[in-house]
Structure 1
Amino acid sequence: MLKKTRTGTWMPAWVPESTFTLCVLLLISSIVQSAKTGGYDGSMLNGLNILPSYTEYFNLNPATTGLNTASVFIGGFLGPLVSGIIADRLGRRPAIFWGSCMTIVGIILQTASQNIAMFVIARIILGFGSAVTGIAGGVYMSEVFPSRWRAWGVGLLNDFYYVGALVAAGVTLGTGKWQSTWAWRAPSLFQAIFSVLCIFTLPFIPESPRWLVHQGLFEEARLSVAQTNAHGNLSDPIALAVFKEIVDTLRWEKEHAHAMSPLEILKNPVARKRLLIGMSPGPFSCIAGNIIASYYFGSELDTAGITDTNDQLKANVVLNVWCLACCLIGTHLAARWGRKPTAMLSQGLLITCLFIIGGLSKLYAANPQGASNSLVYGNVAVMFLFQGFYSVAWTPLLYLYPPEIMNYSIRANGLAFSSFVLNAFALVFTFIMPIGLGNIGWKMYMINASWDVVILGLIAYYWVETKGKTLEEIDALFEGEKHSSVPDIEVLRRGEKVLDTELVKEQLNSVLAIVNVG
């Protein structure tokens, strides 16, 4: 059964009464947002950069190849400048809707491109829309999913990057032999299906309860919490405790003048600390080394001795299946083991792989004609391991960790800043990587591995663990205290403490009465 639910925005909602059904819909929304943006786009461009019908149509050289590919990050670089403000002012769901619409416009223009200029402009629009959707989606999922399922709910927001990538790899493999420009236009047009699916899920999921409380829509927020935690039961102890945590914490933030503004981040020392830690997955994941395989896998395989176009396209398909399996394992580790240990394990394995790839690529470059099959396939095997190890941590943590670290006042703008820095790095790296691989070859891997060592040290020293805590309970790690009197939610779930529901209801009524009078 569907229950019509007020959302505080122009977008109505008809939410399932079953929490399980609702969480499935939230997962679907997370999945299609993940698949539609970077996953499909990255793999599609990876495949197009291999196709002669694409490279010859635009008469590409290394510089224009980098421009065509990196232009999506120009939009991704500009989008975060307004994404946080849009998500805070319009609501999380409307921001996702408008971002999806803009993505569709970019895809249509990209498909119809007649020259490099049109292609680049289309990809800037696509990147802008994807940034708005990704930031609003990351904040929304972190604020809506129950804490016990948050790692999976938000982790899948990026995990299904590889499903989109796999679909794109399969589509480009299927159209690759077409003798027309539709060999690359068809994969481009197919990308829009994910944005359409995302829009179709929005009417059946509620608005963020944190956003609703901040807007003063307490009854709507309480129902949203009950729908995502207790089948809509407003008197359920867990739902009551979660709602009171939200109300108490946001009230504390308002009383201490924590403004909903990027300036809040600059003037508040704790906010700066939370921002620096929370935004780190963006640049860390970008410069870890995956840019090479995400967009220039063909060039990477060339350095290993695999130059046949069809073989490269098949390798691209297999790579995405492997990475999907690894990121799902990584999400499980993040949920069970913790965010920080998972990141450290993954980063250490990445460093090892990059040094090995660099060494093997050097041996191949020294004698391409005399290179043995074992050398070639050994190099490719380590490349696959590298991408898998990258997927273990960075794929789920990219959207999971930042909104957990940041409190409500800076969450949307903080995640936007993380995305801004990520796209700034990605814009530079996607442009210089083909040039670097062409000029210094194997040395690029060695350079990349060296700065990854520095990243590992920063994670070990600065990151904090957020596993098993609600967004409000994480405040205690930075503020030194929790801003609500109710026990931690997981303590209640385990039955270690019992919530006095009547007392909590009285306290809530008192708080809401004060707020309404004010």
Structure 2
Amino acid sequence: MLRKTPTGTWLPAWVPESTTTLSILLIFCSAVQSCTNGYDGSMLNGLNILDSYLDYFHLNPATVGLNTASVFIGGIIGPFVSGVMADRLGRRPAIFYGCIFTLIGVILQTAAQNVGMFVVARVFLGFGTAISGIASGVYLSETFSSRYRAWGVGLLNDFYYVGALLAAGITLGTGKWQSTWAWRAPSLFQGIFSILCIVILPFIPESPRWLVNKGMMAEARMVIAQTNANGDEDDVVVLAVYKEIIDTLRWEKEENRVMTPVQIAKNPTARKRLLIGMSAGPISCVVGNIIASYYLGAELDTAGITSSDAQLKANVVLNVWCLFCSLVGTYLLSSWGRKPTAMMTQILLVICLFIIGGLSKIYADNGDSTSGSVVYGNVAVIFLFQGFYSVAWTPLLYLYPPEVMNYSIRATGLAFSQLMLNSLALVLVFVMPIGIANIGWKMYMVNAGWDIPIIAIIWYFWVETKGKTLEEIDAIFEGHKHSDVPDVELIRTGKATLDVSAIESQLEKEVIGMKSE
């Protein structure tokens, strides 16, 4: 049963009454967004192995890096406008416009006649996916029930590997074609995910926090009921969540917490929240996965696996493995917590990089006479590395930043996190093939060296957000939350009660006060 739900934007919504059905649609929206990025990385991994692609553009190590890294140019530009779009236009319209730009990039990339056209296409791709990815991260974190936020938002990046697996399989199949469609066909298929996302948008509601910020209180309560209690607006959990949001956003407005980037930098609490929240983006970029994500062929070459067919098959198996690990990681983040999961996997990543570097040195010194156990042992550790990366950094990338940042800086903060990620990725994706070509196994040792301080950063600065609503996380940074209702999870589990009539009376006065401002 669908219910027309006001959105406060030009993009209408007919939302299912069932919370379960709506949660599935939200997860599906998250999944198709994630697939776009995963497909792109794995597709380029496959294309960089195909002779038909390399020969058509007459590529050398520098232009391979340019073709691959140019997506991050758009990824750097996108965050400058994505936060503003999500705040002013609405979360859902921002996702829609991002998908449109992505489709433009897909069409241009498929039709590319030279390196210049291919690079321009990938700039459009990066720009569109940055806008829709950032808007989706903010939207899903604000819309999902706190009980399922880790799964709902974590999957926004977990399904990266579904897209990657599809791309790996498609490039494996088309790689044998004796025409430019060996690489054009995989490029064209990339647009299917943006189309699916656009189809889903009319059946999911606008963010309740965005609606409250725009003065649409009754509409926000309706959405909270749809995402928590099958549309029952009188449910006690719905009432508690609604009161927390009203109280917190009213406090932010009264305290003038709607800040420009300069004001954020000057305010100690806002600055702390921004720096901790945005750290997930750049950290996930520099830990070492760039090599296997975009240059698996070169990495397998250093390990002793040089057959193109074997490398393409390894690409498929790697993505299945990473998908499994990311789902395990999302479970750990939900049950164990964000901070311990991140620390554990970061330690394991450092260990793996040193082992990969050591085994690659043995192959570099001995060439084809290297023992088969060393070659396959190295490949196994490469797979372990990517698996450990997927456990934490894949789901954390979009989950952690919106949780740590309050409403006023959430869209801007996640955009800044993605800006830093894409800026670093632009450099690393361009530099990595040159580094591997010039210093080989030493590149892994260098990467492991700069990963060690990251463990200390997570241990000392990160905070735990598991099991809290976005408003309850304020207490970690502000010393107290800005609402007098008990924590939602305590109410949900029966450990705390709510005086419904008193809360309704308070809300009536607060809503009138906020609308008159």
**Does TM-score exceed 0.5, indicating one fold?**
yes
- Cα deviation code 1:21-77 (max 9, x no counterpart): 0000000000000001x2000000000000000000000000000000000000001
Match of 1:361 in 2: 360
SS in structure 2 of the partner of residue 484 of structure 1: coil
SS in structure 1 of the partner of residue 4 of structure 2: strand
Q: Does 1:178 align with 2:180?
A: no
| TM-aligned CA deviation for residue 287 of structure 1 | 0.3
Match of 2:92 in 1: 93
Match of 2:25 in 1: 25
Matches for 1:255-294 after TM superposition, within 5 Å = 255-294=254-293
Match of 1:56 in 2: 55
Letter of the aligned partner of 2:32 in structure 1?
V
Judge conservation of contact 1:261–1:409 (CA < 8 Å) in 2.
no
Matches for 1:488-507 after TM superposition, within 5 Å = 488-507=487-506
Letter of the aligned partner of 1:49 in structure 2?
N
Unpaired stretches in structure 1, ≥5 consecutive residues:
none
SS in structure 2 of the partner of residue 306 of structure 1: coil
Matches for 1:219-238 after TM superposition, within 5 Å = 219-238=218-237
Match of 1:327 in 2: 326
Judge conservation of contact 1:68–1:116 (CA < 8 Å) in 2.
yes
Letter of the aligned partner of 2:18 in structure 1?
S
Letter of the aligned partner of 1:400 in structure 2?
L
Return the alpha-carbon distance in structure 1 between the equivalents of residues 427 and 102 of structure 2: 22
Judge conservation of contact 2:35–2:163 (CA < 8 Å) in 1.
yes
- Cα deviation code 1:329-351 (max 9, x no counterpart): 00000000000000001101100
SS in structure 2 of the partner of residue 3 of structure 1: strand
- Cα deviation code 1:456-492 (max 9, x no counterpart): 1100110000000000000000000110010000110
Letter of the aligned partner of 1:482 in structure 2?
K
Letter of the aligned partner of 1:24 in structure 2?
I
Matches for 1:140-179 after TM superposition, within 5 Å = 140-179=139-178
Return the alpha-carbon distance in structure 2 between the equivalents of residues 126 and 355 of structure 1: 34
Judge conservation of contact 2:277–2:404 (CA < 8 Å) in 1.
yes
| TM-aligned CA deviation for residue 498 of structure 1 | 1.1
Matches for 1:284-363 after TM superposition, within 5 Å = 284-363=283-362
SS in structure 2 of the partner of residue 50 of structure 1: coil
Paired residues, what number? 517
Matches for 1:445-484 after TM superposition, within 5 Å = 445-484=444-483
SS in structure 2 of the partner of residue 147 of structure 1: coil
Return the alpha-carbon distance in structure 2 between the equivalents of residues 268 and 19 of structure 1: 39
Return the alpha-carbon distance in structure 2 between the equivalents of residues 514 and 212 of structure 1: 16
Return the alpha-carbon distance in structure 2 between the equivalents of residues 404 and 493 of structure 1: 20
| TM-aligned CA deviation for residue 500 of structure 1 | 1.2
Stretch moving more, 106-115 or 366-375: 366-375
Letter of the aligned partner of 2:88 in structure 1?
R
- Cα deviation code 1:420-457 (max 9, x no counterpart): 00000000000000000000000000000011111011
Return the alpha-carbon distance in structure 1 between the equivalents of residues 407 and 482 of structure 2: 13
Return the alpha-carbon distance in structure 1 between the equivalents of residues 126 and 51 of structure 2: 25
Return the alpha-carbon distance in structure 2 between the equivalents of residues 286 and 211 of structure 1: 30
Match of 1:7 in 2: 7
Match of 2:43 in 1: 44
Return the alpha-carbon distance in structure 2 between the equivalents of residues 221 and 369 of structure 1: 65
SS in structure 2 of the partner of residue 367 of structure 1: helix
Return the alpha-carbon distance in structure 1 between the equivalents of residues 4 and 213 of structure 2: 21
Letter of the aligned partner of 1:20 in structure 2?
T
Unpaired stretches in structure 2, ≥5 consecutive residues:
none
Q: Does 1:487 align with 2:494?
A: no
Return the alpha-carbon distance in structure 2 between the equivalents of residues 300 and 188 of structure 1: 23
Judge conservation of contact 1:327–1:388 (CA < 8 Å) in 2.
yes
| TM-aligned CA deviation for residue 236 of structure 1 | 0.5
| Percent identity for Structure 1 against Structure 2 | 70
Return the alpha-carbon distance in structure 1 between the equivalents of residues 363 and 447 of structure 2: 19
Return the alpha-carbon distance in structure 2 between the equivalents of residues 366 and 30 of structure 1: 46
SS in structure 1 of the partner of residue 222 of structure 2: helix
| TM-aligned CA deviation for residue 517 of structure 1 | 3.1
| TM-aligned CA deviation for residue 259 of structure 1 | 1.5
SS in structure 2 of the partner of residue 15 of structure 1: strand
| TM-aligned CA deviation for residue 260 of structure 1 | 4.8
SS in structure 1 of the partner of residue 467 of structure 2: coil
Match of 2:135 in 1: 136
Letter of the aligned partner of 1:89 in structure 2?
R
Return the alpha-carbon distance in structure 2 between the equivalents of residues 332 and 98 of structure 1: 32
Judge conservation of contact 1:261–1:413 (CA < 8 Å) in 2.
no
Return the alpha-carbon distance in structure 1 between the equivalents of residues 149 and 226 of structure 2: 15
| TM-aligned CA deviation for residue 493 of structure 1 | 1.0
Judge conservation of contact 2:304–2:368 (CA < 8 Å) in 1.
no
SS in structure 2 of the partner of residue 391 of structure 1: helix
Letter of the aligned partner of 2:236 in structure 1?
P
Q: Does 1:382 align with 2:373?
A: no
Match of 1:191 in 2: 190
Return the alpha-carbon distance in structure 2 between the equivalents of residues 77 and 234 of structure 1: 41
Return the alpha-carbon distance in structure 2 between the equivalents of residues 246 and 383 of structure 1: 45
Letter of the aligned partner of 1:97 in structure 2?
F
Return the alpha-carbon distance in structure 1 between the equivalents of residues 147 and 268 of structure 2: 30
| TM-aligned CA deviation for residue 264 of structure 1 | 3.4
Return the alpha-carbon distance in structure 2 between the equivalents of residues 231 and 513 of structure 1: 26
Return the alpha-carbon distance in structure 2 between the equivalents of residues 514 and 59 of structure 1: 66
Judge conservation of contact 1:139–1:411 (CA < 8 Å) in 2.
yes
Return the alpha-carbon distance in structure 2 between the equivalents of residues 157 and 500 of structure 1: 36
Return the alpha-carbon distance in structure 2 between the equivalents of residues 8 and 323 of structure 1: 39
Matches for 1:70-149 after TM superposition, within 5 Å = 70-149=69-148
TM-score by length of 2: 0.99
| TM-aligned CA deviation for residue 262 of structure 1 | 2.5
Letter of the aligned partner of 1:99 in structure 2?
G
Judge conservation of contact 2:141–2:402 (CA < 8 Å) in 1.
yes
Task: Name the Cα RMSD after superposition.
Answer: 0.6
| TM-aligned CA deviation for residue 369 of structure 1 | 2.4
